[in-house]
């Protein structure tokens, strides 16, 4: 008895196709960009990116996330690149109570960045953004804590996205 899927194709054909596709993709030079199995040159180059100071407290937080993401073991020799980041953080009311006061605010972190080589030539530019919300309560401490947590989550996402874009750029530079 042959089992068919919804389109009328035998299930074994689909399984055979997926197996062949996986084998072909494995042979085409796929390499992870991040993690322990990442290409050593990409990791080495990322550890040699100097992140310029970003103004304000949110800039400090983003810079620390970037430093942890790009070079978790610290700097690995002289700088190959310099990363400059511009951060903006507009907030807006997203939930309004019946008395016309806000009960929830949206926090939006938007970053544009420029990667330069040691000769100050621009080699890569990009942008990243993240949005989250936080609750406004009667307790000032709870509101400030919620706001700080929302800011940290958004900046962590922006940092991870910038790292991903830089790793794809550096991997592409080597081919």
Q: Tell me, yes or no, whether 32 lies in a domain.
A: no
Q: Tell me, yes or no, whether 1 lies in a domain.
A: no
**Domain, as residue range, for 164:** 40-173
pLDDT tens for the 175 residues of the chain, in order = 445 455 555 666 666 666 766 655 554 455 555 544 456 778 888 888 899 999 999 999 999 999 998 887 766 678 889 999 999 988 776 666 667 666 778 889 999 999 999 888 999 999 999 998 888 888 889 888 888 999 999 999 999 999 999 999 988 864 4
Q: Tell me, yes or no, whether 88 lies in a domain.
A: yes
Q: Tell me, yes or no, whether 5 lies in a domain.
A: no
Give the domain CATH number at 148: 3.30.160.150
Q: Tell me, yes or no, whether 27 lies in a domain.
A: no
Which residue blocks in the chain are alpha helix, DSSP H? Answer: 11-26, 40-47, 56-70, 140-173
Q: What is the pTM of this model?
A: 0.71
In this structure, are strands 49-51 and 81-88 parallel, antiparallel, or unpaired?
A: parallel
Check if the beta carbon of residue 48 is closer than 8 Å to that of residue 81. Answer: yes
Q: What is the count of structural domains for the chain?
A: 1
């Amino acid at each position: 008895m042959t089992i068919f899927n919804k389109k009328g194709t035998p299930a074994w054909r689909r399984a055979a196709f997926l197996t062949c596709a996986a084998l072909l993709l494995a042979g085409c030079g796929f390499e992870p960009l991040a993690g322990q199995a990442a290409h050593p040159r990409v990791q080495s180059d990322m550890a040699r990116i100097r992140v310029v100071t970003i103004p304000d407290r949110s800039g400090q937080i983003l810079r620390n996330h970037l430093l942890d993401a790009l070079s978790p073991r610290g700097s690995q020799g002289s700088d190959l690149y310099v990363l400059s980041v511009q951060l903006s953080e507009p907030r807006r009311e997203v939930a309004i109570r019946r008395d016309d006061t806000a009960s929830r605010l949206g926090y939006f972190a938007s970053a544009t960045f420029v990667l330069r080589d040691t000769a100050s030539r621009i080699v890569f530019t990009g942008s990243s953004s993240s949005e989250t919300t936080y609750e406004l309560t009667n307790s000032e401490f709870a509101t400030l804590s919620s706001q700080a947590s929302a800011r940290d989550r958004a900046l962590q996402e922006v940092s991870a996205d910038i790292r991903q874009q830089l790793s794809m750029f550096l991997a592409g530079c080597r081919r």
